[in-house]
Homo-oligomer: A and B are copies of this chain.
Amino acid sequence: MPRKPQQPRAHATVGAIVEAGFISLARHGVENTTTRHIADIAGVSVGSLYEYFANKEEVFDAMHEHMVREVVGMVRPLIPTLVRMDIRELVAELLYRFRDLLERDDGRYLRYMSYAAYFAPRDQIEPINRLLMDLLMKYVMHHPRLVRLGNLPAMGFIMINGGVFTVIRYLTEPNPTVAFDDLVRGLGDMVAHFVDGELQRAGSAD
């Protein structure tokens, strides 16, 4: 039964362990990330690690939470601005920011992200999905013509998942054959043309 850190010293230990988790993962990959590695990098003993985490899995969970908080913290304040943008700009802004976040600290988060989908249970990714779905809904509200779009849940699912995974996969590609700019432009065009096409279809169906 892991304990809650109470003194500042203990909080620092927990923080160091989580950070060490990212570092070890980026350095050795998941397979070769042992509790001993993590403890060593964090500068504490294995015993201390198990003082605050029931098992290795929980360290990953904590890393995940950290990452989610980071992403949400980045996107949420942008929402009011994003909502007023042209749809292509929105896609671009979001994707460039997302890339920058993932590539920070030598791709520490990116490396984790490419494993997370497998490790992390659904409900841990959920906050990000909800956030993006929320953004989508707010965007539609601010652009009344979009209210006519049908089946937003399905389209949201496609755009969010398709977008996120495509970018993660692109960034982990060792030597990409296309430029990131082209990818971003492509995704923007995709969404924009979809919207235009659907609106046209809805309009002619009146």
**A100 part of interface (Cβ distance < 8 Å):** no
Which residues of chain A (150-200) have a CB below 8 Å from chain B? 151, 153-155, 157-158, 161-163, 165-166, 169-170, 173-174, 177-179, 182-183, 185-187, 189-190, 192-194, 196-198
Report if A78 contacts B (CB, 8 A).
no
Return chain B residues, CB-CB under 8 Å to A179: 154
- Check if B162 sits within 8 Å of A182, measured CB to CB: no
Contacts of A173 in B (CB 8 A): 122
Nearest B residue (CB) for A164: B165
Complex: A162 Cα to B198 Cα, angstroms: 20
List residues of chain B with CB within 8 A of the CB of A174. 122
Decide: B194 and A198 in contact? CB cutoff 8 A.
no
In the bound complex, CA of A128 to CA of B177 (Å): 16
Indicate the size class of the contact surface on chain A: 35 or more
Partner-contacting stretch, out of A11-19, A37-45, A101-109, A110-118? A110-118
A96 within 8 A of B: no
> Which of B30, B151, B183, B193 touches A194 (beta carbons < 8 Å)?
B193
> Ordered nearest first, which 3 A-B pairs have the shortest CB separation?
A193-B197, A162-B162, A165-B165
Q: Which residue of B lies closest to A186 (CB)?
A: B154
Q: A178 to B166, Cβ gap below 8 A?
A: no
A151-B190 in contact (CB<8A): no
Residues of B within 8 A of A198 (CB): 189, 193
Q: Kindly report which residue of chain B lies nearest to residue A172, judged by CB atoms.
A: B122
Known: A118-B119, A197-B196, A197-B197. A166 touches B161 (CB 8 A): yes
In angstroms, how far is the closest chain B Cβ from the Cβ of A11?
29
Q: Would you call A166 and B177 a contact (CB within 8 A)?
A: no
Residue in chain B with minimal CB distance to A177:
B153
Compute how far the CA of A122 lies from the CA of B173 in the bound complex, rounded to whole angstroms.
8
